[in-house]
Structure 1
Amino acid sequence: MSLLTITDLTLRIAGRTLLDQASLTIEPGRRIGLIGHNGAGKSTLLAAIAGDIAPDGGSITFSGRATMGRVKQETPSGDLSLLETVLNSHEERTRLLAEADSTTDPTRLADVHERLLAIDAHSAPARASTILAGLGFDQEAQKRPVNDFSGGWRMRVALASALFLAPDLLLLDEPTNHLDIEATLWLENWLARFPGAALIVSHDRALLDNSVQAIAHLDQKKLSLTPGGYERFVQIRTEQRLQQNRQAEKLADQRAKMEAFVARFRAKATKAKQAQSRLKALARLPQIDSVVEETPTRFSFPDPGALPPPMLKLEDVSVGYGETAILRRLSLRLDSDNRIALLGRNGHGKSTFAKLLAGQLSPMSGEVQASSRLRVGYFAQHQTDELILDETPVQHMARTLKDATPPQVRAQLARFGLDAERAETPVRNLSGGEKARLLLALATRHAPHLLLLDEPTNHLDLDARDALIRALGEFEGAVILISHDSHLVESVADQLWIAENGTITPFDGDMDDYRSWLDERAKQATQDNQRQASRTQKDTASTTQPDKNQQRAQRKEQTRQLAPLRRKIRDLETRLERLEKAKSQLEAKLADPNLYQSSRAEDIATLNSDLALVSQKQEETEMHWLEAQDELENATN
C-alpha cells in the first residue's frame, strides 16, 4: 500500500506550467531525493503535497491515517525555550499533558495516561534534546528563548521540530542550507536511520548519496524515479541517454535508406510495389529524437597572476567584535597554491576569520603580513541582502567596475552563466541561484589572488555546483572554503583547518578522518554524560535509602516506563518475521528456473528490486531491534 500517490499532477504558477501530468508513488519507509534545476517547481510540489496550494489537474492522495511533517519557510518565535518549542510541536502530547493536569474523571485520566504511554511521552524531552544537540544547540542554548536566536538558527529549531515529530512522511526543502558541516553529517546519519518516508529537496550530493534510496527527477515538467543515490542516478541517466541516442541514430539510418530507395525506384513500374511497401514501412517507424543536451553550466575565474610567497601571514593575531575576542593567538600562513576548507560548528569563528582576511575586521592584537599587491575576493551568502532589487546585474557590475567597457562588464557576468537576458533582469526577479552567481561575479571582478567562499552553494543547483568545482580546479589562486557541502570540500580542498575553542588549527587528515573524529568525539560526550548521570544516581542513593514501599513503587514505575519499549521490541520482532517470510518467498521465485523462461526481463528486475528493498528493510529493522534491546538492558541493569 502506498503512502503518497501523485497521479497526472498539473501545477501552474502565475500562468507558467511547472508540472504537466506528472506522477509519483512513495511507499511507507521510502526516502526519496527530489532534484531539478532552480525554478523547476520542486518547492511548489512540496507545497501542493502539504495542501498549501491546490493542483490545477490530477490528484495527490495521502494515506488517511498517516501523519506528515514539514519544515516551512516561517521560522518559530516567542519566549519559550528551544526545548519547550520543540516539545510543543507535538500537539497531541501537549494537549494530553494539559488534560492530565486538569481532568477529574478517573476513567478519562486512565485513558489519557494510556495514550501518553503509547506515544512515548515520557521520553520526549530526551529525544528532543538529542535532536537539538545534533543540530548544534548545547544544553545551555536549549534553555534559552527562541527570540534570542537569528533566523538561520531558528530554521534549525523548525527542522528539529519536524524531526522530533517523526511523522510517516517527512517533507524537507533544502534542509542543509542553514547547517554547518557537523550538523549536516548528523542529519545524514539521522535520516539514514529514520523509519518513516521522506521527500527531500536537496542539491547536496553527499546527503543524496548517503540518506536516500531513490532519486525523483523533475525535468521537462515530468517526474521520473531512479533507484539509488545521486551518483547512481547520474550513471543510469547517462546510460539511458546514450542508449536513446544510439537508437535514434539507428532509426535515422534506416529511415534514410528507405527514403533513398523510394526516391530512386518510385517511378519505375518494376519497383513500384516495393517502393509503396517501403513508404508504408517508413510511416510505421517510431519517432525517437536524439537527446539534446542542455548547454552545460560553466563558471570561470579570472587569472590573478603570480605573487611571491608568502601570500599572507598571521602572527599571534586576535580578532573579534568590540571588546570581545572570537579568535585568539592565530599564527597561520597562506600561499598561492593553498586550497583550504575551514570546518567547525557555526558560531566558532569561521566567518569572523574570513572577514579578517577580507579586511572587513581589523586585528585586536598581533600582526597581519600581506603582499602589497594582494587582491582578495570575498563571497558571503548574507551579501544577497546588499543587492539593490530594482537594479540589473549589468548595473551592479558597471557601478563596481567603473573603468570597464560594456562588453567587459557583460563578459564578467557571463563567466558565471548570467547570459544577456538574465544580465538585464532586475535582481528582485532573479532566483536564489542567479543571485549567488551575481555575487560570485562581483566578488571576482578584480581577479583576486585569494578567494574566500563562505557557503557559496546554498542556492546553486547540482549542475552549478559541479561548474563551481570545475572552475575552482582551474583557478590559479588560493582558496579558503567554508561550506556544509562535503562533496564540494572533498573535491576542492587539500587541507582542512578547524575553528574551535577560540582558535584555528590545521587538521591532519581528510574528510573521512574528520567524520571519524566527530563520531569518536560524540561517543565520548555520550559516555561522559552517562558517567555523570551514574554518579548523580549513586550520590542520590547514598544520601537517600528508600524503604521497601518506595522500592516497590520504583519497580512499578520502572515497569510502567519500560512498557512502551517492550511493546516496541515485540512489534519489531513481528515485523522481522513478516520480512523474513516475504524475503523467502521472493528468493523462492527468483530461484525457480521457469521464471526466466516465461517472464519478461522487467518482471525479473522488479522481483530483484523488491528483494533488495525487503533485505534493506530487514537490516534496518534488525538494527532498531538491537538498539531497543540494548536500551532495555541498560535500563534494567
Structure 2
Amino acid sequence: MLRIDKINFSIDGRPLFEEASATIPEGHKVGLVGPNGAGKTTLFRLIKGELTLDGGVIDLPSRARIGGVSQEVPASQTSILDTVLEADTERAALMKEAETADGHRMAEVQTRLADIDAWSAEARASAILKGLGFDTPEHSNPCSAYSGGWRMRVALAGVLFAQPDLLLLDEPTNYLDLEGALWLESYLAKYPHTVIVISHDRGLLNRAVTSILHLEDRKLTYYGTPYDGFVRLRAEKRAQLAATAKKQQDRRAHLQSFVDRFRAKATKAKQAQARLKMIERMDMVTPPEEAAKRVFTFPQPDELSPPIINIESGATGYGDTIVLRRLNLRIDQDDRIALLGKNGQGKSTLSKLLADRLPLLEGHMGRSSKLRIGYFAQHQVDELHLDETPLQHLRSERPETQESKLRALLAGFGLQAAQAETEVGRLSGGQKARLSLLLATLDAPHLLILDEPTNHLDIESREALMEALTAYNGAVILVSHDMHLLSMVADRLWLVADGTVKPYDDDLDAYRALLLAKDTPPKVEKPKAEKPKRAPRETILDLRAEVRKCEGVIAKLEEMRTRLSEKMADPALYDVAHANELAKWNRKSAEIEEGLRRAEALWMDAQEKLDAAAQA
C-alpha cells in the first residue's frame, strides 16, 4: 500500500501540494491525471525520494522496490537483451556471485535464483523486447545501434523486466507505436504489483488501469474507476458543487438584502444583526472554475475533383533502396485514413511519398494540379527555431499579413498573447506541437498528413484535435498510437506491411485483438473474384461518405438560406418599385427550402442505411 498523507511541497515559492492525501491499495493499477504543470512528475520524484517534502508523509512498505524510466539507456556496446537482464540487479548480482561461491553459500545462491525464476529470465526479457517492437534477431544488437527513442524502449523493457513492487511510468507510450502501445496496455493490466502511470492516452487509461488519481488545485482525489468513469463522476461532482454554490449565493444575497433594508430600523435592528452573523458563519462553497477550452481552428480548403492522389503500380524508398512497392492507392478529399503497421514497415516512408518529400521510383502517380498538402511529423516540433517566438515564425511565413491577424491565427490554436511572444525554447511540448500544427495547416491544405500529432498533447487537447479533424473538409492521413483518436477520426484503414500497403479488411478492435492474440500479420483484403460481393466494411465506408456528403449539402443550403433571410429582411425590398425583385427572391427562397427538404430526406435515408449496416 502507498499512503500519501497531508503532503506539502513548493517549488520557488509556488505550492504544488497543500495537505494532499491519497491511498493506493497494493496491486492496483492507477492512472495519474491532471493539468499540465500541476505537479504529476514532481509527485513521482517525491515518491522516489528524489525531492524532500515540506510537510506530510509518503509511506511505503519496508523494502518495497520502486522502479521507473528516468532516462534512456546509454549508447553502449552491451546487447539490448543483456541490458534488460541487468535491470534486475538482484539476479545480476546473484549470477555473478554464483561464478565464485562455494559450499554453503553456493546452495543459498542457487536456492534464491530458483526462487526468483532466474533461469527463465532470458525468455521473459526477450518476450518484453519483442512486445515493444524488437524482433528476435535484434536482441543481440548493441544499444549503440539504436536512436534515442528506441533506447527509451530498452529502458522501459528493463524496468518491466525487473518487476518493481511499485512501478511508476511517465507518458510511456510517447515513444511507442500503436502496436507497442497496445502490447503495453495488456502487459500493465496483468502486471503483478502496483502501477501508477502518467498518461494522456485515453485508451490506456480505460483499459490498463482500474483507478484514477486526480491532481488538481494542489489536492489529490482517488476515483476507483477507469478514465471514462472518472470523467462522468467528476462532471457530476462539479455540477453538485456548482448547484450548492449557487444556492449558498442566493441564500447569502437574501440575508444581505434583509440586513441592508432593516439595519437602520430600530424595530428590526436585532433581526438584521442576527442575519449578519448568519452570513459571517456561512461556510461558502467555491464554484468550480470552467475548464480552459482547448481549441484547434483548421482553415477549410476549397473542393477539388476526385481523386486528389492516385498511385498505380508505385514504388518508393531512399536512393536505390525500395521500401514500398506494388502501391495501388487512391485518395479522395473526404477520406480519413489511418495507417497501421509496426515501426520500420514504412508508414513514415508512405507519408513522405504522399507529402511529395520522397520520389516515386516506379509506376505512376497522379495528383490534382491545385493540390495543397499539409505535413506534420514529430521531428518537425524539434526543428522549430528555439530562439524565435511563435509570432516570429508566422511573420516569416506571412510577412505581408497584419500582426493582429497573425495573433488571431495563433489564438485559433490555443496560443494566446503570452505564448505568442515567448521564445519557442521556453514553451511546453504541447505548445510547440500546436505551433507546428498551425504551420502545417496555414495554407488550408486539401490533404493533411499527421504522423504522431498527439505525443505532447494533454487529453483535452487531443479531444480538441479530434473535433477539428472531424470538422475539417480535407483528406486526413493519420499515424498515431492513440487508438481513441484513430477510432473517432478514421473511417478507412491501410496496413503497411511486407513491403507494400493494402486496405485492412476489419476494424481497429479486431486489429487490437489480433495483435494481442498472436504474433501473426493482420488479415488484409483478399483479391476480388470476377464478380465480387460487396464487403460489409466497404459498404459502411461508402455510406459514411454519403452521410458526410449530404451533411455538406445541407450546411451549404442552410448558409444560403441565412444569407437570403438577411437580404429579405431589408424593408426597402418591399416597396412597390421592387416587386419584381421581391418575387425573384421569394422563388429563390422556395427553391432553397425544397432543396433542404430533399437533402434532409437523402441524409436520413443514408443514415438509416449506415445504422443498419453497422448493426449487421
TM-score scaled by length of structure 1: 0.80
Could you give the per-residue CA deviations for residues 532-552 of structure 1, whole angstroms, max 9, x where no partner exists?
xxxxxxxxxxxxxxxxxxxxx
Question: Cα distance, 1:524 vs. partner?
Answer: 9.5
- For the residue of structure 2 that corresponds to 1:512, the secondary structure is helix
For 1:36, give the aligned amino acid.
G
8 Å Cα contact 2:339/2:495 also seen in 1: yes
Q: Given the alignment, which residue of 65, 87, 90 partners 2:88? A: 90
> What whole-Å deviation, never above 9, does each CA across 1:85-127 have from its counterpart, x for those lacking one?
1011111111111111112x21110011011011110111111
The one-letter amino acid of 2:17's match is L
Q: Which amino acid in 1 is paired with 2:305?
A: P
SS state at 1:109 partner? helix
Deviations 1:445-482 (A, max 9, x none): 11111111100000101111111011111111110110
Runs of 4+ in 1 over 6 A off after TM superposition: none
User: What is the CA distance between 1:260 and its match in structure 2?
Assistant: 1.9
Any idea what SS the aligned residue of 1:19 has? strand
The residue type paired with residue 68 of structure 2 is R
Distance 2:244 2:13 in 1: 36
- Deviation string for 1:347-391 (max 9, x for gaps)? 110111111111111111122211111111111111122111111
Q: Taking structure 1 as reference, are residues 11 and 275 closer, same or farther at Cα in structure 2, changes over 3 Å only?
A: closer
Paired letter, 1:214: S
Q: Match for residue 268 of structure 1?
A: 265
Q: Give the whole-Å Cα distance in 2 for the aligned partners of 1:431 and 1:271.
A: 59
* Distance (Å, rounded) in 2 between the aligned partners of 1:317 and 1:403: 40
- Candidates 414, 436, 439, aligned match of 1:439: 436
- Contact 1:38 1:461 (8 Å CA) reproduced: yes
Q: 22, 26, 29: which one pairs with 2:27?
A: 29
> Does the 8 A contact of 1:39 with 1:431 survive in 2?
no
1:31 Cα deviation from its structure 2 partner:
1.3
Q: Which amino acid aligns with 1:517?
A: L
Separation in 1 of the partners of 2:9 and 2:288?
A: 25
Asked if 1 retains the 8 angstrom alpha-carbon contact of 2:315 and 2:362, the reply is yes
In the alignment, which residue of structure 1 is the partner of 2:614?
none
- In structure 2, the partner of 1:482 is 479
Superposed, which structure 2 residues align to 1:368-517 within 5 Å? 368-517=365-514
Letter in 1 for 2:228: E
The CA distance in 1 between the partners of 2:129 and 2:337, in whole Å, is 29
Any residues of structure 2 matched to 1:515-534 within 5 Å, and which?
Answer: 515-522=512-519
Alignment of 1:117 onto 2:114 = yes
Distance (whole Å) between structure 2 residues aligned to residue 343 and residue 149 of structure 1: 22
Structure 1 Cα separation of the partners of residues 277 and 436 of structure 2: 58
How far does the alpha carbon of each residue in 1:326-355 deviate from its partner, in whole angstroms, 9 at most, with x for none? Answer: 111111000010011111111110111111
What stretches of structure 2 of length at least 5 have no aligned partner? Answer: 523-616
RMSD of Structure 2 on Structure 1 (CA): 1.6
> How many correspondences in the alignment?
522
Counterpart Cα distance in 1 of 2:107 and 2:410: 68
Measure how far apart 1:16 and its partner are: 3.4
Determine the structure 2 residue equivalent to 1:9. 7
- Give 2:607's aligned residue: none
Select the residue among 16, 19, 27 that pairs with 1:18: 16
Instruction: Please say if 1:294 is aligned against 2:291.
Output: yes
Structure 1 pair 142–109 and aligned structure 2 pair: CA distance change class (3 A): same
Gaps of 5+ in 1: 526-637
Decide which moves more: 260-269 or 368-377.
260-269
Task: Check whether the contact 1:35–1:201 (CA below 8 A) recurs between aligned residues.
Answer: yes
Among 144, 159, 171, which residue is 2:168 paired with? Answer: 171
CA distance in 2, matches of 1:257, 1:10: 38
Q: Distance in 1 between matches of 2:262 and 2:9?
A: 52
**1:29-71 CA-partner distances (Å, limit 9, x unpaired):** 0111111222222122212222223333333233222111111
Residue number in structure 2 paired with 1:80: 78
Query: Aligned ranges for residues 55-454 of structure 1 at < 5 Å?
Result: 55-103=53-101, 105-454=102-451
Aligned to 1:615: none
Change (3 A) 1:218 1:522: same
Which amino acid is the alignment partner of residue 393 of structure 1?
A: P
Between the aligned partners of 1:102 and 1:58, the Cα distance in structure 2 is 46
Q: Is the 8 A contact 2:212 2:227 kept in 1?
A: yes
Q: Distance in 1 between matches of 2:399 and 2:115?
A: 68
**What do the CA deviations read for 1:387-415 (whole angstroms, capped 9, x no partner)?**
11111111111112233221222222112
Offset of residue 520 of structure 1:
4.2
Matched-pair identity in %: 52
Instruction: For 2:19 and 2:280, locate their aligned partners in 1 and report how far apart those are by CA, in whole Å.
Output: 28
* 1:21/1:222 contact within 8 Å kept: yes
Q: Distance in 1 between matches of 2:318 and 2:340?
A: 21
TM-score by length of 2: 0.82
**TM-aligned CA distance change 1:17 to 1:262, over 3 Å:** closer
Tell whether the 8 Å contact from 2:255 to 2:279 is kept in structure 1 after alignment.
yes
Report deviation, 1:312.
Answer: 0.8
Letter matched to residue 424 of structure 2: V
Cα drift, residue 255 of structure 1: 1.4
Amino acid at match of 1:160: A
User: Is the 8 Å Cα contact of residues 38 and 433 (structure 1) preserved in structure 2?
Assistant: no
Post-superposition offset of 1:15 = 4.3
Letter of the 2:383 counterpart: E
